A = this chain, B = another copy of it.
Amino acid sequence: MDNVTLIAIISIATAGLTISIGSIGPALGQGKAVASALASLAQQPDAAPTITRTLFVGLAMVESTAIYCFVVAMIIIFANPFWNYIISN
């Protein structure tokens, strides 16, 4: 179990856990926001443009935290500075 292998296995495990744990919060938050949007549309159909516009901005904000996790997972897999340092030495 040399150093290269150790960093490889920790990178694989971390990348998977990062995106899987990081998807729980955003998915639940978006589900709640969408559910509320649909109930609002049913209650006040005339406000549909305002509601859907606010919904999409909100979904984008919530999605941003999921994207942070995805970015970190991709960095760990494809642009890992520690991995580059180890295999270049």
Using a CB–CB distance below 8 Å, which chain A residues touch chain B?
A: 1-48, 50-52, 54-59, 61-66, 68-70, 72-73, 75-78, 80-83, 85-87
Contact = CB atoms under 8 A, between A and B. Distances in A.
A10 B7 contact: no
Interface of A is mostly: helix
Given A5-B6, A43-B44, A23 B69 contact: yes
Q: How many copies does the complex hold?
A: 14
Contact of A39 (B17, B21, B39, B46): B39
A79 to B, nearest CB: 9
A58 B72 contact: no
A51 B38 contact: yes
Contact of A43 (B9, B22, B43, B82): B43
